[in-house]
């Protein structure tokens, strides 16, 4: 999957003055000769629309973490690691994500720029790192979009045998229509899709609990029966305790939870942990139905449990919402990819033609380029939609971990620079005391997970060239991009004492962000999800 896009969604509350440059309060234009270390603000201030409200940003961040994997992929995790192994795997990744989120929050509060951690990497580490990570996000979104379109084709096959090319054309048309429209239209569409996904997962969790407790007439109570037989763990590759650990570790590699902002993270954790817990109680890890590779609602463990309980409408409901979820992912990937590409063009790291915007503030050349990559989805007509989907997905899967590592490195550099320059950490406008420890620990975990992502290929009888390439190609591409830009532009790692933190703090002091008023009274009942 591609990196969660919400970090690149422009916030209407971020003004030009919120964008920090190493020479504070000095804006640069696209005609400047050198942008290697500066944050460029003139173009994005005048040309790029910023019309998303707090309810858009908050709910999109929450629902963005509830993707097709939560509806369809939990069964595979139960099958690989067992109910307890899957639960521990998702919980471990949840803790790592929490550390990443708090690290990103502390840096973003000081440097609230469009492009987020891509631009942070330029300021805190090396312009070459910003270039490499920026293009990693861009091509990750280029590939994830046709993957999601392929998934939509598979999902429609659950209902009809209509030629998949029809669904591909429709998906491309509607995604382009949203991408070229104003950011406000995108926000409204994603807001209601987000509401749909959230209500469905809440409904499925409650339904699963009712089924498990024997609340459906004629369906016996299961409780934690499947935790006893076939057992809480599943042996994966090896046997004994080592095999059980590998099962847990394999789940952790699969359970990548996309980004969510500070308050949203806890809600996402509740959804995922409860969903994994309920699924582990409903379906046995050795249930053959979990091996269903149709890519439709038929492989969802929620659907398996509901069908066994005689509830016939659930499969179609889940399939419909998963289709909307896949299209939502298309919209978010398009927004993320185009905005990051626009930011690269601002830094003269992409052709300046990508700076062209419509009168309503959309970088239309970026949208047209990314739309062109959508037509890769027609490959699914030749190779099988599901095969293409997983191939594209695997090619960009470790991009998420690379982005997390970048976020944690940025935060670590910020902390070290503040200590080097004698600036108390209490000066950060948003801070948590434990991030000094959580960031290095999470960084180690992310690096180990990244390097062991394809560990199964090194075991006897499981190695394959395609698996190895999909697990590690993205790492090589990022390293290559970093070295190329570094050699061509002769960039250097910014020394800790040269990072202009004083200018950043001064700009934040002079231009505090205007916060939207919190909801009060009866409105809080409807806005608790995003406030």
Q: Across the chain, what does the average pLDDT equal? A: 76
Most confident residue range from 125-134, 231-240, 278-287: 125-134
For a pLDDT cut of 90, what percent of the chain falls above it? 12
Per-residue confidence at 210, pLDDT binned at 50, 70, 90?
A: confident
Q: 3-class secondary structure for 352-371? A: HHHHCCCCCCCCHHHHHHHH
Segment 470-525, tens digit of pLDDT: 778 888 889 999 999 999 999 889 899 888 888 888 777 776 665 556 656 655 65
How confident is the model over 149-162, as pLDDT tens digits? 887 887 888 888 88
N- to C-terminal Cα separation, the chain = 27
pLDDT for 405: 94
Report the range of poorest mean pLDDT among 6-20, 25-39, 58-72, 439-453. Answer: 6-20
At residue 16, the pLDDT reads 30
Residue 269 pLDDT greater than 70, yes or no: no
Cβ proximity of 94 and 401 under 8 Å? no
Tens-place pLDDT, residues 270-319: 677 788 888 888 888 877 777 766 666 677 787 888 887 788 888 888 88
Angle of helix 54-64 versus helix 314-346 axis, rounded to 10 = 120
Ordered structural domains, the chain, with CATH:
5-381+492-517 (1.20.1740)
Whether pLDDT at 99 is above 90: no
- The pLDDT score that the predictor gives to residue 172 is 93
**pLDDT on residue 406:** 94
Structure tokens at 176: 């382009």
Going by C-alpha positions, the residue among 137, 152, 114 that lies closest to residue 18 is 114
Q: In this structure, are residues 442 and 408 in contact, taking their beta carbons and an 8 Å threshold?
A: yes
């Amino acid at each position: 999957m591609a990196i969660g896009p919400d970090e690149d969604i422009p916030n209407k509350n971020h003004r030009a003055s919120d964008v920090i440059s190493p020479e504070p309060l000095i804006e640069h234009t696209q005609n400047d000769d050198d942008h290697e270390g500066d944050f460029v603000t003139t173009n994005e201030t005048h040309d790029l629309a910023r019309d998303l409200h707090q309810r858009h940003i908050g709910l999109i961040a929450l629902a963005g973490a509830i993707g097709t994997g939560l509806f369809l992929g939990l069964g595979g995790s139960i099958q690989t690691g067992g109910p307890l192994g899957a639960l521990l795997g998702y919980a471990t990744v949840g803790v790592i994500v929490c550390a990443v989120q708090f690290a990103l929050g502390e840096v973003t509060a000081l440097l609230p720029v469009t492009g987020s951690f891509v631009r942070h990497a330029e300021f805190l580490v090396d312009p070459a790192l910003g270039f490499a990570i920026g293009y990693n996000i861009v091509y990750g979104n280029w590939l994830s979009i046709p993957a999601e379109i392929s998934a939509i084709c598979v999902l429609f096959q659950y209902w009809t045998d209509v030629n998949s090319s029809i669904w591909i054309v429709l998906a491309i048309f509607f995604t382009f229509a949203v991408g070229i429209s104003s950011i406000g239209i995108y926000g409204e569409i994603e807001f209601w899709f987000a509401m749909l996904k959230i209500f469905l997962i809440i409904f499925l969790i409650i339904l699963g609990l009712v089924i498990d407790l024997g609340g459906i007439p004629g369906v016996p109570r299961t409780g934690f029966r499947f935790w006893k037989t076939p057992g809480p763990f599943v042996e994966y590759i090896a046997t004994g305790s080592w095999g059980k650990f590998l099962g847990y570790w394999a789940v952790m590699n699969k359970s990548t939870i996309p980004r969510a902002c500070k308050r949203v993270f806890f809600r996402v954790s509740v959804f995922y942990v409860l969903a994994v817990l309920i699924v582990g109680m409903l379906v046995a890890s050795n249930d053959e139905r979990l091996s269903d590779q149709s890519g439709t609602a038929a492989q969802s463990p929620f659907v398996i449990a509901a069908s066994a309980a005689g509830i016939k409408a659930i499969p179609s409901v889940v399939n419909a919402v998963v289709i909307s979820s896949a299209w939502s992912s298309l919209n978010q990937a398009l927004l993320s990819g185009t905005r990051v590409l626009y930011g690269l063009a601002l830094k003269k790291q992409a052709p300046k033609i990508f700076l062209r915007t419509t009168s309503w503030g959309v970088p239309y050349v970026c949208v047209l380029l990314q739309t062109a990559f959508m037509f890769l989805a027609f490959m699914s007509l030749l190779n099988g939609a599901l095969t293409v989907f997983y191939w594209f997905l695997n090619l960009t899967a470790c991009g998420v971990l690379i982005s997390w590592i970048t976020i944690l490195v940025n935060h670590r550099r910020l902390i070290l620079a503040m200590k080097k320059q004698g600036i108390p950490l209490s000066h950060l406008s948003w801070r948590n005391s434990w991030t000094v420890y959580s960031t290095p620990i999470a960084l180690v975990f992310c690096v180990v997970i990244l390097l062991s992502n394809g560990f199964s290929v090194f075991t006897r009888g499981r190695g394959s060239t395609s698996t190895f390439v999909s697990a590690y190609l993205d790492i090589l591409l990022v390293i290559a991009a970093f070295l190329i830009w570094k050699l061509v532009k002769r960039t250097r790692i910014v020394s800790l004492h040269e990072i202009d933190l004083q200018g950043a703090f001064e700009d934040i002091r002079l231009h505090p962000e205007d916060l939207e008023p919190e909801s009060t009274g009866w409105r809080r009942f409807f806005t608790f999800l995003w406030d």
